[in-house]
Amino acid sequence: MVEVTQFKKNDLYIYELSANVLDSLKLITFDSTLHEVDPVPTATAAANGASAQTTKPTSDSLECNVCGMTFETLQRNREHRRTDLHTYNVKRNMKDLSPIGEDKFQDLISSKEGTPHATDIHNPSADDDQEDRDNDESESDEFYREQSNFLDDLLEDEVTNMSIDDNSGGVVSHLNTRSPQIYFNSTLLQNSDAFGIYKALFTEDQTIKPLQSVKEWNFNKDQSSTVSALFMVGGGHFAGAIVSHQRANVNGNARKQDQSLQEQAVVFLEHKTFHRYTTRRKQGGSQSAMDQAKGKANSAGSDLRRYNEAALKLDIKNLLAEWEPYLRNCENVFLRATNIHERKVFTDNREIKKIENKVKSFPFTTGRPTVAELKRSWCELSYLKKVAKPQPLALKEPNVSSDITKTSKNEDKEPSKEISPEELHTKELLQFLKKAKAPLLVAYLRKRGLDVNFRLAPKSQYSVTPTMLHFAAQQGLRQMVTILISNLKSDPCIENEYGKTAWDLAKSSDVRYAFQLARHKLGENYTDWSKSHIDKPLSREDIDILNKEKLDNEKKETDEAIKRELENVRERQKAELEDKKRFWENS
């Protein structure tokens, strides 16, 4: 695809895109390894596929974007968001897993019928039968805490229930990149390039359908009445503005040396800057930070800086109150603060708390707070960016033919050594283990046709940890131990050269509990557990009890140590008083 110069910089303003740019945009979706793939339609989209082009899109208020469901009324949508199915899908979404339906969720619940709380799944329709429990706040908190723990356990079991034969490649989404931007293909760009829009411009619901949101901004919304707020504070400098989404007409304007045409087109309905002396020159950091780090200084300069800090906070508070009518109608509020204390000036403010869901940070580095910097930052936010597409995280192919040598200052001393395929496999597998990348580990084993009990190479280096299970146990990788045994069926009975199994290398109690939990799940007939040296099987409830006992014992020991120390202090103080008393009596 050859790049065509059919657009100018002014055509890329996201609230006023030119027709050829807007029509050329196509959302890019990625798999878990950042390869560009076709989007997967949701269940709702598939059901409405035929009528989607002829009917008006369903209002977002009637949709659950997390579960991919559409409801007839707003009340039913609200009831759905209180169900455990919705909560469970939210937890899945946080782990980059696709949502499941009601039937699949019920199957998961049925599979855990023998566990506590499996029959206590919250249902909004049953709230009337639980009024006596809802009247007691402490019991209600405990109920929801146990319910949340049950869903967490359910999700953990499902996440770890992966096998080498599973061909799932992870969730497909346009949000799989770690970039602050969402990427769009365009016929106006080369294949290697894309247009990027900052995610911070979208609400949570709009992020699910970004291209539809951009089209609504350009067709269905009057931008002349739409505003956003920009605030920057740092080093005693403050700059704030209310910016209109409607640009000014700058046709015929002369280009200024310190301001682009795009910055000239920015319309500030309100703007304000002020400065207070709060930072000592060439020292850095506010006076309050210095007081916390080195103690309160007693000087005229430090007193002045403390006064100015308080005055700066008051100035900002008064300004926010003055701009409250604008803030109430803002689409976004972008905030930049150099430290948590300056940020709290905004987050603790009454006007900002009313719209806290709209408060976002600038997704890029900004300069000193000035009006010019506010304009530059707004242009950076509100214009499409031509960027290179993210590079795929492809699994490395072992290159047996190439010679990978150890670098040496004196090449005559030792000849270069060729690395074997087994050593290359070992390097890749251990990287996945250390970073707890279970899906990539499974994909690598399946693609290379490797056994889960693959022997790490070179043998001389991994004599203590010959298998991945040995390595994970020694390094304290509890989750990977669970996946290797329970799901990938790694052999726990394999011994190293010193007769040690993976269990023998486990140092922490959490890792040992993972082995015992796997033994409980797999059953006593799975293997000869005596050869694995693994202790008696433990259920999750047994582990919870042991962990609670451990915490109680640690707390008891801490309390006793504090008590002993207090007694020692009292005895020392008593001895000092007696010594002083004898001194004065003798004198």
pLDDT in tens, the chain (587 residues): 444 557 788 889 999 999 899 999 999 988 877 888 877 554 444 333 333 333 334 344 577 877 877 777 888 888 888 888 888 888 777 765 677 888 788 877 777 655 544 444 544 444 444 444 444 444 445 445 556 667 777 776 666 555 554 444 456 788 888 789 999 999 999 888 999 999 999 988 888 889 999 999 988 777 888 999 999 998 889 999 999 999 998 887 777 778 888 999 999 999 999 998 888 766 666 667 666 666 677 778 788 888 888 899 999 999 999 999 999 999 999 999 988 888 888 988 888 888 888 999 999 999 999 999 999 999 999 999 999 998 887 555 555 554 444 444 444 555 556 788 899 999 999 999 998 888 888 889 988 899 999 999 988 899 999 999 999 999 999 999 999 999 899 999 999 999 999 999 998 999 999 999 999 999 999 999 999 999 999 999 999 999 899 889 989 988 898 988 888 888 888 888 888 888 888 87
Q: For the chain, give every domain's residue range.
A: 221-251+259-388, 421-538, 548-587
* pTM of the full structure: 0.52
3-state class (DSSP) for residue 185: strand
Contacts of 439 (CB under 8 A, 6+ apart): 32, 162, 170
Task: Look up residue 248 and give its DSSP letter.
Answer: P
Q: Which CATH number fits domain 421-538: 1.20.58, 1.25.40, 3.20.20, 1.10.760?
A: 1.25.40
Burial of 8 (0-12, 13-18, 19+ CB in 10 A): exposed
Decide: 405 and 416 in contact? Cβ < 8 Å: yes
CA angle (377 as vertex; 374, 381 as ends), nearest 5: 135
CATH architecture classification, 221-251+259-388: 2-Layer Sandwich (3.30)
3-state secondary structure 350-396: HHHHCCHHHEEECCCCCCCCCHHHHHHHHHHHHECEEEECCCCCCCC
User: Edge-to-edge strand order for the sheet containing 359-361?
Assistant: 267-275, 237-244, 227-234, 330-337, 359-361
* Active-site residue, from 262, 287, 475, 516: 287
* Cβ atoms within 10 Å, residue 470: 25
479 tagged catalytic: no
* Distance separating alpha carbons of residues 360 and 277, to the nearest angstrom: 27
